[in-house]
Structure 1
């Protein structure tokens, strides 16, 4: 017992000396395209407040960030440098340590790992393609591109379903969703049948969220300022639309485009960002039917391109790309509405927010 106590005191002393937390915590990682860096903040798990820790300078402007399923590694698309980078995450301090930096083969708008954490998917907006890279066991992105598949311009996102069998790629310009079969054993994408689903006129699907039970997918529509709910055929891996709901209040007549979309961890609520109206649209989700019901909009900062919900489902953080501010909200557990409790000056042109919580 005395030895154990001495060890505990020693660890506390080391942590105090290094000025770092002695246990794993929660952190926010923010891509600052205008400053070519990733900003790291510590998240207070009780209050939701953020404390700036440090910045990680990069070769170019970062965009999409992704964390592997085991929360060991963070991956970044460094868009202006046309590179992918991977970092190990220190769960005690939130610090990032560079593991790999490789050519991306273009300007990737979106990256995501498959559910096994063994592969990195990427979607290329200007080049109109998707690609697959293998990930090493130590978090390195292997330089060889396993697969490149031409689609169409404006490929905006790429995500697998919860069972890691299917992959979906929304395209804004062509107004379509590409549907793929995914073989994680071979690391191969294969066009499904049909390979492409046309969205209803003038919607332009941009990002997507997948329900935890894998029955429904939700796409926010950039041009349509709306969210469309789709039912997933679990056998075929194909989508069928069954509801489209506006993200805007009925009396708004200005210009607007949707950007990001997130489901709460509980699956009870869904959120989408409005650029123009500058708000986060809030919806209640009927998890039996998948249908959405609008519960209003919460005002946010100018041009909310990206936002993220912390893994506990208690807080939401939305970045204003135009004014460099981050709006922090509490999520009501009773009805899913948002209450802003803080606003942070984070830096120039924030384009991605990624929240990571360690046990």
Structure 2
């Protein structure tokens, strides 16, 4: 099994395109895909046929067709959006593209046409607050969540109507940590009703119970991503991911420049297990779809590290390091045919 791997290099005007052999872990560079502008967040559909890229400086979303054999991209359109977005994601039907807006303090929904192009205007442009950092729907596609770092230090809770793409405020509309943690990104547990947020300002991870009927969260644990004695003022967290079996959770430390590994207990609580050195300022990292390999990019190193994953323990062992581009900040996998 092989995967096309795309890296957004925010300090360059191209995507790095590589191919991962998931049997051996070998990652080979293929080409650089020139966009003419600096890329940011990436979203793809479930079939791996469409891609959308945020061109944050120019306040645009660009859409592409993906050739599953070569991995090449063919541009299909661009739309201008009200502000630059740090995060885009399709809903679970791939009929809508959801986006958060850090500076503008909004979220938006665009319709996705059958050819993968986006509606010229957003179906919705909803005010939240400054520092809206990410947005995703839950497994049922009935609810969506938008973490905001400090201020306002809150997670906005929405109901989502997949028939028309409408977001409406849930009740309550927000939850706030009792301390200024600054929730940034999140993952759901793959099989249980659990929600984990990585908190940029507090260098912590928060565990929440998720009510699948009401679509609301209730926090029950906050745990540091740092080793004892390291000053959290010298660190911010960035990304979070969880293994397919829900046994291991990872978060990235920018400052300590590590990937933190947590064990996930039966009740969903976390225990910090280990730290693994990684690239400078690891803004993004991700498990490949097989769960056997971890890829981590360094915004300040311009490089990507590859790790073999011990799927029984979650432990990481470095296997490869490559140059990618200036200020890499996103990794996207697509099945290769």
Tell me which interval the TM-score lies in, with the shorter structure as reference length.
over 0.9
Which residue pairs with 2:174 in the alignment?
Answer: 196
Which residue pairs with 1:180 in the alignment?
Answer: 158
Which residue pairs with 1:324 in the alignment?
Answer: 302
Q: What does the per-residue CA deviation read over 1:268-325, in whole Å, with 9 as the maximum and x for residues that have no partner?
A: 2111100000000111222x31111211110001000011110000001111001101
Q: Say if 2:261 is the partner of 1:285.
A: no
- Report the CA distance between 1:352 and its aligned residue: 0.7
Return the match for 2:227 from 246, 249, 252. Answer: 249
CA contact (8 A) 1:295 1:337 kept: no
> Counterpart of 2:83 in 1: which secondary structure?
coil
Which residue pairs with 1:131 in the alignment?
Answer: 108
Which 4+ residue blocks in structure 1 deviate beyond 3 angstroms?
none
Which residue pairs with 1:45 in the alignment?
Answer: 22
Alignment of 1:1-359 (within 5 A): 25-173=2-150, 174-213=152-191, 215-253=193-231, 255-286=234-265, 288-358=266-336
* Cα distance in 2, alignment partners of residues 35 and 127 from structure 1: 24
* Cα distance in 2, alignment partners of residues 320 and 189 from structure 1: 34
Aligned-pair Cα RMSD in Å: 1.3
* Cα distance in 1, alignment partners of residues 34 and 138 from structure 2: 33
Task: In structure 1, list runs of 5 or more residues that go unmatched.
Answer: 1-23
* Cα distance in 2, alignment partners of residues 265 and 98 from structure 1: 32
- Report the CA distance between 1:62 and its aligned residue: 1.1
* Cα distance in 2, alignment partners of residues 28 and 121 from structure 1: 22
Q: What does the per-residue CA deviation read over 1:109-167, in whole Å, with 9 as the maximum and x for residues that have no partner?
A: 11000001100000000000000000011211121210010000000000100110100
* Cα distance in 2, alignment partners of residues 58 and 81 from structure 1: 12
Q: What does the per-residue CA deviation read over 1:180-232, in whole Å, with 9 as the maximum and x for residues that have no partner?
A: 00001121000001101112212000001112225011100101111001111
> Counterpart of 1:217 in 2: which secondary structure?
strand
CA contact (8 A) 1:310 1:357 kept: no
- Tell me: higher relative CO, structure 1 or 2? Use CA pairs within 8 A at least 6 residues apart: 2
* Number of residue pairs matched by the alignment: 335
| TM-score normalised by L of structure 2 | 0.96
CA contact (8 A) 2:71 2:336 kept: no
> Counterpart of 1:98 in 2: which secondary structure?
strand
* Cα distance in 2, alignment partners of residues 171 and 274 from structure 1: 18
